[in-house]
Amino acid sequence: MAMFRSTLLLLPLLLLLVNSCASHGSQAHNHRVVKFGGHHFPIGQGLKASLSDNAGPWDGFKLLLDAKLGEVRAGMANLKMYLLQFGYISSADAPPAGSSFSEEFDSITQKAIQNYQRSFGLPVTGNLDLATLTQMIIPRCGREDVINGTLLMLQNGFDSVPGTQHLGVQHWSSFPGGRRWTKKNLTYAINLSTISSGVSVVDTQNTIDKAFATWQAAITLNFTRIMNIETADIRISFDALDHGDGNAFDGPLGVLAHAFAPTDGRLHFDMEEYWTIDVKTATSSGSFDLLSVAIHEIGHILGLEHSNFQDAIMYPSISPLVAKQSLHADDVAGVQALYEADPKYTGSPVTEGLGSQSGAVASWDRMRTSEGMVLVVCMFMSLLVGRSLLPVIW
């Protein structure tokens, strides 16, 4: 009887916990994992946007999972175009003008996949496995990773190993020949007539200013924004699809932006992306942080190529709603190899190896701890009410 009265007094709390368990299970079922081909894809690990309502141009790659050498699969030609775009298939191995790639998984494609896996620190199998396709679908910068057969992300002679940070090892790369600006005072201008409708003119200007200031803090170059885009050293615009530079954009997701080596000075953002200046308040699950992408592209403007260090600004891929707004030690090492270091630069905690990806992992760990507490409570409640209240977790 005493136990009954105690349970009755606790009934409001019990109902709240029951609702929490049910709600938590529903969220886990609907948002934590998606599946295709018998495989489980954790949300937020590369396929988030591609398997949501915001399917990107590379979403079809998932249908190529576990394709075998010599097999013909619909969509393989598109994968080959991707590998050609980023330099893994050479122009010499591309079909003649007016022709298309075949849908066969051939040896040239397998070799290209192996080099892609080497560049991104994936197991080098040459197979279209889960890890490889997950990485390929993540939106990214439009600059190539391979030039004339050189894997730029391994330019410093380092073949990365998955799951390791290799502190003290340089991952950054630069354009062949070490192309750089020879003058210290550079001007930049933004084509205001093309600014994305998702971000105001003032917010765009302030964000681009902050991106230049991020690099300027580490080196002795000076950047000044001017209004005349015709006379500026660096010219920034938002463009869509084919915009006349030979590097057409592909709509939402896919390629986010691209920039050219010194001293060309062109930097183009894809106008059709959902840009935001605050990922915490973004209204679309396919939104991209403008500052993060701007800092990355300015790195190219300065002469840096891609890094295979995931926490570095110059890592080529970034998922929606991720913010990477500080230089990593790898970025600093690269830019200071091209330009004189600013003696006043002391960096930040991020430059010591704790990039935004590490922060994301920490957040994930905290979420997992919270889930564990919910599971314990739900198990206890199941015993009291006589039915299972455990969340449905795939």
Q: Where are the domains of the chain?
A: 2-34+359-385, 39-138, 174-354
313-352 as b/e: b if 16+ CB within 10 A: bbbbbbbbbbbbbbbbbbbbbbbbebbeeeeebeeeebbe
Binding residues for Zn(2+): 141, 243, 245, 258, 268, 296, 300, 306, 314
The answer, yes or no, to whether residue 9 has pLDDT greater than 80, is no
Binned at pLDDT 50, 70 and 90, residue 336 comes out as very high
Instruction: Please say whether the beta carbons of 57 and 254 come within 8 A.
Output: yes
The answer, yes or no, to whether residue 358 has pLDDT greater than 60, is no
Binding residues for Ca(2+): 233, 250-251, 270, 273
Binned at pLDDT 50, 70 and 90, residue 156 comes out as low
Same fold, 39-138 and 174-354: no
Q: What pLDDT does residue 170 have?
A: 57
Q: What is the mean pLDDT of the chain?
A: 78
Instruction: Please say whether the beta carbons of 316 and 323 come within 8 A.
Output: no
Q: What pLDDT does residue 28 have?
A: 35
Binned at pLDDT 50, 70 and 90, residue 198 comes out as confident
Task: Name the CATH superfamily housing domain 39-138.
Answer: PGBD-like superfamily/PGBD (1.10.101.10)
Residue positions annotated with a catalytic role: 297
Q: The whole model's pTM is what?
A: 0.74
The answer, yes or no, to whether residue 374 has pLDDT greater than 70, is no
The count of other CB atoms within 10 Å of the CB of residue 35 is: 10
Q: What pLDDT does residue 15 have?
A: 44
Q: Which CATH class is domain 174-354?
A: alpha beta
Binding residues: 141, 233, 243, 245, 250-251, 258, 268, 270, 273, 296, 300, 306, 314
Beta strands in the chain (DSSP E): 33-36, 39-42, 146-147, 150-151, 173-174, 185-190, 222-225, 234-239, 257-259, 266-270, 274-276, 287-289, 304-305
Which distant-in-sequence residues (6+ apart) come within 8 Å of 43 by Cβ?
A: 31, 32, 33, 34
Average pLDDT on 307-325 reads 96
Q: What Å distances lie between residue 168 and 185, 207, 248, CA to CA?
A: 31, 31, 37
